[in-house]
Amino acid sequence: MKFTDLGLDERLLEGIDAMGYETATPVQQQVIVPILEGKDIIASAQTGTGKTAAFLLPLIHQLLTHPHETHDINAMIIVPTRELAIQIAETMEGLSYFTSVSSIAVYGGGDGTSFATEKKALTQGVDVVICTPGRMIAHLNMGYVKLKGLRYLVLDEADRMLDMGFNDDIMKIISFLPRDRQNLLFSATMPPKMREMARKILHEPVEINIAVSKPPEKIIQKAFIVYDAQKVAIIKDILSTKSFQRAIVFCSKKQNVKQLSQELKRAKLSIEQIHSDLEQSQREQVLQDYRNKKIKILVATDILSRGIDIEDIDLVINFDVPNDGEDYIHRIGRTARAESTGTAFTLVSEKEQNKLAQIEVLLGQPVPKGNVPEEFGPTPEYNPRKPRSGSGGGGGKKRFSRQRKQQ
DNA sequence: AAAAAAT
């Protein structure tokens, strides 16, 4: 299905064309029409599937074709991270380039001038606001945000926002909004807490299910069963011998990002790190340098595991096994975007074997194990404890914790 | 068990 078949406004089609979009992705095909019909939506869809355009396009179209209050905020998009807010704002700018629809990203960590700029827009009116929760609340508490005309609310990566403890913040923001509005909720997963939130916010939503909790098959996955102490040397080896366009190395802790970055820099690898301890301006600089290919390797926390869309990442390395199985799928999903293929390596220490086993349960299949070259020395066996499969079936006995023996 | 998010 082509975008030209969807009956979208001419000015919007120009923007779509300029962005190089032609064919609607499955998410877009399923979501755009019900949004244009004014329905509330609850959609499970992962990023990289064209999800952002799936809600931006009908939003912009409605604003172009329906009379609306130009001195108010008409649509609010709430997202979990600053980087995601920036990215969506950029897509918004591109798509709406040939239209009169205005937009702004509202998020914390700026240098002081950003707050004033945001305040001006929120006071004088801007069609679409893309925000992180805390910063939006800061503005709302000041009492100047023009919300009377708001007719659209989008919650993106909603499950992630719940994980991050934004439930109360989101409900607080919503308490400021007019009741008569269209609500769009996007979430990779639908745990009970998510359902509960959806029930409070959405009105007779159309349910759309696209996300399969499975990574695309075109990603070549390999897990290396290793000792903790071998990890750094192996990463160095991969990064210096394997050829790739762009690589990203994920760690589960900021501390690990910092340490590993130091080690890699010492090995003369051209890398940058990104995590929330950096100044916001540094975060943006690093991401820009990475997008511009000034640097090819990024070492990151899960701040980048969801939502961030960068082309040509063909190598993802998990220095740590992610804590959450869903995060594994999100992390490796940074590669093999659109038409391309990619490789995802995961280094698994002895302590992390059980986590990998959990992930394999979620995937419904084992992650192929890779062989570590002999030069790195002997490696441990893969011998995880049987992963628990939810609420125990068949009245299994509680297992006593094994004695710990350190060698 | 850790990440991120308001000043």
The residue count for chain A: 407
* Per-residue flag: A140 CB under 7 A of strand B: no
Model pLDDT, residue A390: 44
CA distances from A79 to A42, A88, A158, A304 (A): 15, 9, 8, 13
The domain boundary, picked from A153, A182, A209, lies at: A209
Please provide residue A250's backbone torsions phi and psi, each rounded to the nearest 5 degrees: -95, 135
pLDDT in tens, A8-66: 999 999 999 999 999 998 889 999 999 999 999 999 887 667 899 999 999 999 999 99
Q: What's the sign of the alpha-carbon dihedral A61, A66, A67, A69?
A: negative
Closest amino acid to nucleotide B1 (CA–C1'): A323
pLDDT in tens, A322-376: 988 888 988 998 887 767 789 999 999 999 999 999 999 988 899 999 999 999 9
* Per-residue flag: A83 CB under 7 A of strand B: yes
Model pLDDT, residue A403: 35
* Per-residue flag: A275 CB under 7 A of strand B: yes
Give the angle A174-A179-A182 at the CA atoms, nearest 5°.
85
A181 with A232, same domain: the answer is no
pLDDT at A400 over 70: no
Residue A257 in tokens:
């990002």
A336 with A234, same domain: the answer is yes
In a domain, A258, yes or no: yes
Model pLDDT, residue A293: 95
* Cα A25 from Cα A9, distance rounded (Å): 19
Per the CB < 8 A criterion, the answer to whether A271 and A286 are in contact is no
Residue A155 in tokens:
């919650």
Mean pLDDT of A135-158: 96
Model pLDDT, residue A180: 96
Range with the poorest average pLDDT among A4-18, A95-109, A199-213, A307-321: A199-213
A99 with A169, same domain: the answer is yes
pLDDT in tens, A62-115: 999 998 888 999 999 999 999 999 999 999 999 999 999 999 999 999 888 999
Facing residues of A346 across strands? A223, A318
Strand B nucleotides within a 7 Å radius of protein CB atoms:
1-7
Please report which residue ranges of A177-230 form alpha helices under DSSP H: 192-201
Burial A353-384 (b: 16+ CB within 10 A, else e): bbbbbbbbbbbeeebeebebeeeeeebeebeb
A230 with A147, same domain: the answer is no
In a domain, A405, yes or no: no
Burial A153-172 (b: 16+ CB within 10 A, else e): bbbbbbbbbbbeebbebbee
A79 with A192, same domain: the answer is yes
A47 with A128, same domain: the answer is yes
A93 with A240, same domain: the answer is no
Mean pLDDT, chain A, integer: 91
Q: Name the one residue in this structure whose structure tokens are 């992650």.
A: A367
In a domain, A381, yes or no: no
In a domain, A214, yes or no: no
Name the closest nucleotide to A132, judged by C1' and CA. Answer: B5
Q: Name the one residue in this structure whose structure tokens are 């961030």.
A: A308
A153 with A37, same domain: the answer is yes
* Per-residue flag: A287 CB under 7 A of strand B: no
Model pLDDT, residue A111: 85
> How large a percentage of chain A has pLDDT more than 90?
79
Per the CB < 8 A criterion, the answer to whether A79 and A153 are in contact is no
Model pLDDT, residue A401: 35
Model pLDDT, residue A254: 97
Name the closest nucleotide to A169, judged by C1' and CA. Answer: B5
Give the angle A49-A52-A54 at the CA atoms, nearest 5°.
80
Model pLDDT, residue A174: 97
DSSP letters spanning A261-320: HHHHHHTT--EEEE-TTS-HHHHHHHHHHHHTTS-SEEEE-GGGTSS---TTEEEEEESS
How would residue A405 be classed by pLDDT, with cut points 50, 70 and 90?
very low
Q: How many domains does chain A have?
A: 2
Per the CB < 8 A criterion, the answer to whether A47 and A83 are in contact is no
In a domain, A19, yes or no: yes
pLDDT at A311 over 60: yes
Model pLDDT, residue A178: 97
How would residue A394 be classed by pLDDT, with cut points 50, 70 and 90?
very low
Model pLDDT, residue A398: 34
pLDDT in tens, A267-294: 999 999 999 999 999 999 999 999 999 9
* Cα A346 from Cα A235, distance rounded (Å): 10
* Cα A136 from Cα A17, distance rounded (Å): 32
In a domain, A47, yes or no: yes
pLDDT at A397 over 60: no
A223 with A366, same domain: the answer is yes
Please provide residue A68's backbone torsions phi and psi, each rounded to the nearest 5 degrees: -145, 165
Domain that holds residue A28: 3-209
In a domain, A385, yes or no: no
The domain boundary, picked from A142, A176, A209, lies at: A209
- Burial bucket for residue A12 (CB in 10 Å: 0-12, 13-18, 19+): buried
* Cα A175 from Cα A202, distance rounded (Å): 14
SS3 label, residue A42: strand
Q: Which CATH number covers residue A181? A: 3.40.50.300
Among A125, A130, A137, A132, CA closest to A100? A125
In a domain, A75, yes or no: yes
A241 with A352, same domain: the answer is yes
pLDDT at A404 over 80: no
Residue A77, Cα to own-chain centre: how many angstroms? 14
* Per-residue flag: A306 CB under 7 A of strand B: no
Name the closest nucleotide to A323, judged by C1' and CA. Answer: B1
A49 with A182, same domain: the answer is yes
pLDDT at A386 over 90: no
A65 with A134, same domain: the answer is yes
Facing residues of A41 across strands? A184, A206
